Structures are given as structure tokens and as C-alpha cells.
């Protein structure tokens, strides 16, 4: 093989290592928490779902729907890893959400225009040679055009599929079904509007005792100072169906919009239960739950506490963005907000953001008390577990975190120079040998 081809292959391998760097050593977590990579190379990983036996992880990407069979690590049995990556569907348009119905073995997923279905999904995957991609059919694919907030978080519960059809704008007057939390039955009928006045949601979950539905919403961007993002609740007891949560008139706990003003008041709308950091881009949410009666390793403060909710704060490329973390809130005390895990964003000594290596999107609980995090930037899924015997976890030096990408870029540049030199040398001398 000519020298240039060997060098080009080497350069490609180095690029794959450099650009695919996952820096779990930079994550800061409380005492006892550990992290591991479950699977890599899941492009634009967003919402996740587990099969009923928790042996298959489903993940939505922007263009694909993935299935990852899970197993225990052969050397580190406490770790769960993906055995392979199967593409159930590809060439999709803005896929973002997945939900699994264990009763009927159906996988639901969302695209820009609606909700789709894969029937008998695990049965097809259990075949010795599954025929991939799998066939899917539309359940609801006639939603009005939306080119702004196209992601749709979806969940299956009690025979119904729930999702939010977000607003099509940063700030504008909207009409139904935009800005609504919607559910429908398994055939796409019996549509119910549960909430309106929602701008940009990608995360919701139900409280284990009250069945109240908690959901995130991101406020408009075109303001200075920035408006807070929101954690809202739809109470099954005190709120009427299709309650209005303010958009585009009001945000947070009662901040009135400077353009869209209605009766000079926000009292007619449901305020947020908790104001999240401005421009944190709040996304996936999950109450901290685990299966009782099984071996589960759970932090003492979360044992038998069904009020703890985790929020994935994705962060944005906006210089004023916050986020890049997993936060935790006790819904009995919404002022209890704290950051549980951070380190995806690396800051300089001056406090300005220098670089980020990942962006969390969704949080999914596993029955043993651990939870999964999808990362759309690093194209990966991580598992966070608790072990009371683990030593304190301290993140790596942030200065090194900034220098490493620069060093990697320098290596790639030098390899490019070597490849270029090899090509020149081959043209001049190789044919003479």
C-alpha cells in the first residue's frame, strides 16, 4: 500500500479519537456517585426509553432511531454497556422523542410532523437476523408546519401517548394545536388538550403519588435581561383541563411580556412552580424512582422520597447561556434547586465559557437506582450510579481540559502536514523505487 494511504488512515483514526473525546473525568458529582459510558456514536442522542425488561435501550437521534441491547461489563460487572448499535429507522426528519409500550411491544417516536409507530419492536429484534431498518407507520403526521421548535418529547402512560406541540416562533401569537400538551389513544384518536400557553418544551414526568405532571418550558430568547426558564406543574386536583401557562403574554412567576400584553396582568395564567436559570435550555425530566424489593443503591436523601425530580439543562451556544448540567429539585420545596452534576462546560479563571465537550438532553431512571443521561453533543449515553463506598469524585483540572483540545488540534494539524509531505514525496520519488 502506498505510504500516503497508510498515513491517511492513521489521520482518520486520530481524528476519530480527538473529535470523539468524552471527558467524564471533568464531571463534578456529590460523594458516592460514579459515571460510565454506556454507548458512543449515537448521533444527536436525545430522548431515551427502556424495554420492559430493561435489556434494550431506545434512543432518538436527529436522523435515526436506535436500539442498543444492554449487558453487564465483563470486567466491571457493576457497569452496564451497549453490546451493539442497531438503527431501527433512518433518514428521518428531526427525530427527537421515543416512548415504549410494554403491554403491546410498540415503540413510538416523534419527527417534526408528528408521531410514528414501530409494532412488535422487541420481537423483531430478538430474531437471529432482524431485518433492519424496521417498518414504521404514522400515528399522527398532520401537525401544522413548525420550523422553530420541532423537538417533541413523548411518553406512554395509561393507554395514551403524551407530547407537546411547541410554538413555531420565538415570540408570537399562536393558535391550536401549537403550544399545547396533547394526549391521544393508541390509534391516534380521542385527542385531549391538557395545557396551553407553552413555548418550547422537551421534558415532562408524573409524580409517583399525586400523578401531577411536571414539565419544563423555555422562555423567549429576544430579551435583555434574559427571562427565566420554567418548571411547571399540571395539578390533577386544582387545575382545570387545558390550563394556560402564559406564553406569549407572561413568563415564570409573573413576568409580563414587553410586546404581547393582555389585560395588563398575569393573574389569569398559571405561573411556574419554579424559575430555572435563564437560557439554561431545560430539557428532559425524570422523577427519581427505583424498584422496591430489588437491590438498589440509592443516596440516603432520595430513599422513599418521591418528590425528587431531575432536570437536564442542555445549555446553548449563546454566550449568556447557563445550563450544561443536571439539576435536582424537591417538588415539596421548589426553592431547593441545586446542581447535581456539572462539568460539561469548561470555564476559564475569569468565569467566561471557554469550551464545552457535551450537552445533556434527557434523564432516564433505571430500576436499580442509577440513571442514564443522553448527550447530543458527544453523541453518547452515560450511566450515573450511587455507591456509598466510593471515594469523593473531584473533576480534573479545568485548565488541562482547555489545553487538551488545543493539543489534539495541534496533533491533527501536524498529521496533516505529514500526510501532505508524504503525498509530495510519493509523487517525486516513490515511482522511482
**Are 167 and 297 found together in one domain?**
yes
What letters, b where the CB count within 10 A reaches 16 and e where it falls short, cover 381-409?
bbbbbbeeeeeebebbebeebeebbeebe
**Are 160 and 237 found together in one domain?**
yes
**Are 387 and 406 found together in one domain?**
no
Encode pLDDT of 98-129 as tens digits. 999 999 999 999 999 999 999 999 999 999 88
In a domain, 31, yes or no: no
In a domain, 32, yes or no: no
**Are 413 and 272 found together in one domain?**
no
**Are 90 and 11 found together in one domain?**
no
Tell me, what CATH number does 160's domain have? Answer: 2.120.10.30
Which helix (H) or strand (E) segment holds residue 410: the answer is helix 398-429
**Are 420 and 384 found together in one domain?**
no
Look up the pTM and report it.
Answer: 0.84
Cα–Cα distance, 26 to 19 (Å, whole number):
16
All three cell numbers of 215: 414539565
Closest among 312, 309, 308 to 323, alpha carbons compared: 312
Residue 233 has pLDDT above 80, yes or no: yes
In a domain, 232, yes or no: yes
Query: How many structural domains compose the chain?
Result: 2
Q: What's the average model confidence in pLDDT over 151-174?
A: 93
How many Å separate Cα 371 from the centre of its chain?
12
**Are 187 and 246 found together in one domain?**
yes
Which helix (H) or strand (E) segment holds residue 45: the answer is none
**Are 251 and 238 found together in one domain?**
yes
Cα–Cα distance, 228 to 216 (Å, whole number):
11
Q: Which residue blocks in 186-345 are alpha helix, DSSP H?
A: none
**Are 17 and 76 found together in one domain?**
no
**Are 204 and 321 found together in one domain?**
yes
**Are 91 and 6 found together in one domain?**
no
**Are 305 and 411 found together in one domain?**
no
Q: What is the DSSP letter of 393?
A: P
Which of 215-224, 288-297, 372-381 has maximum average pLDDT? 372-381
Cα–Cα distance, 210 to 328 (Å, whole number):
19
Domain membership of residue 410 as a residue range: 1-23+401-433
All three cell numbers of 126: 430478538
Share of the chain above pLDDT 90, in %: 57
Cα–Cα distance, 316 to 280 (Å, whole number):
7
What is the overall mean pLDDT for the chain?
A: 84
Instruction: Report yes or no: 154 and 108 within 8 Å, Cβ to Cβ.
Output: yes
In a domain, 78, yes or no: yes
Amino acid at each position: 500500500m502506498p505510504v500516503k494511504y497508510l498515513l491517511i488512515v492513521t489521520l482518520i483514526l486520530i481524528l476519530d479519537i480527538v473529535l470523539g473525546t468524552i471527558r467524564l473525568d471533568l464531571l463534578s458529582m456529590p460523594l458516592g456517585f460514579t459515571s460510565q459510558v454506556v454507548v458512543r456514536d449515537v448521533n444527536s442522542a436525545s430522548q431515551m426509553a427502556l424495554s420492559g425488561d430493561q435489556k434494550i435501550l431506545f434512543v432518538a437521534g436527529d436522523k435515526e432511531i436506535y436500539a442498543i441491547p444492554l449487558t453487564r461489563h465483563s470486567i466491571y460487572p457493576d457497569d452496564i454497556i451497549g453490546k451493539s448499535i442497531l438503527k431501527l429507522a433512518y433518514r428521518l426528519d428531526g427525530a427527537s422523542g421515543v416512548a415504549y409500550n410494554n403491554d403491546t411491544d410498540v415503540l413510538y417516536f416523534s419527527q417534526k410532523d408528528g408521531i410514528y409507530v414501530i409494532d412488535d419492536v422487541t420481537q423483531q429484534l430478538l430474531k437471529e437476523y432482524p431485518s433492519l431498518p424496521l417498518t414504521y407507520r404514522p400515528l399522527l403526521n398532520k401537525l401544522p408546519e413548525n420550523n422553530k421548535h420541532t423537538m417533541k418529547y413523548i411518553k406512554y402512560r395509561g393507554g395514551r401517548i403524551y407530547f407537546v406541540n411547541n410554538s413555531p416562533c420565538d415570540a408570537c401569537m399562536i393558535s391550536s394545536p401549537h403550544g399545547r400538551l396533547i394526549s391521544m389513544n393508541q390509534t391516534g384518536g380521542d385527542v385531549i388538550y391538557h395545557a396551553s400557553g407553552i413555548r418550547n418544551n422537551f421534558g415532562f414526568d408524573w409524580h409517583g403519588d399525586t400523578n401531577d405532571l411536571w414539565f419544563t418550558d423555555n422562555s423567549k430568547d429576544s430579551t435583555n435581561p434574559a427571562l427565566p426558564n420554567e418548571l411547571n406543574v399540571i395539578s390533577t386536583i386544582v387545575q382545570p383541563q387545558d390550563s394556560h401557562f402564559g406564553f406569549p403574554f407572561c413568563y415564570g412567576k409573573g413576568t409580563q411580556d414587553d410586546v404581547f400584553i393582555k389585560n395588563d396582568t398575569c393573574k389569569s395564567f398559571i405561573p411556574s412552580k419554579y424559575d430555572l436559570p435563564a437560557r439554561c435550555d431545560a430539557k428532559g425530566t425524570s422523577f427519581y424512582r427505583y424498584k422496591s424489593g430489588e437491590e438498589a443503591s440509592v443516596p440516603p436523601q432520595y430513599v422513599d422520597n418521591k418528590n425528587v425530580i431531575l432536570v437536564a439543562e442542555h445549555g446553548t451556544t449563546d454566550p449568556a447561556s447557563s445550563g450544561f448540567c443536571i439539576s435536582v429539585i424537591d417538588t415539596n420545596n421548589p426553592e431547593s434547586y441545586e446542581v447535581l452534576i456539572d462539568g460539561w462546560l469548561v470555564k476559564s479563571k475569569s468565569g467566561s465559557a471557554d469550551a464545552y465537550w457535551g450537552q445533556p438532553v434527557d434523564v432516564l431512571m433505571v430500576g436499580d437506582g442509577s440513571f442514564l443521561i443522553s448527550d447530543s453533543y458527544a453523541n453518547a449515553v452515560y450511566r450515573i450510579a450511587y455507591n456509598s463506598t466510593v471515594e469523593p469524585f473531584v473533576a480534573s483540572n479545568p485548565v488541562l481540559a482547555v489545553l487538551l483540545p488545543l493539543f489534539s488540534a495541534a496533533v491533527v494539524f501536524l498529521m496533516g502536514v505529514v500526510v501532505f509531505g508524504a503525498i509530495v514525496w510519493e509523487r517525486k520519488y516513490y515511482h522511482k523505487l
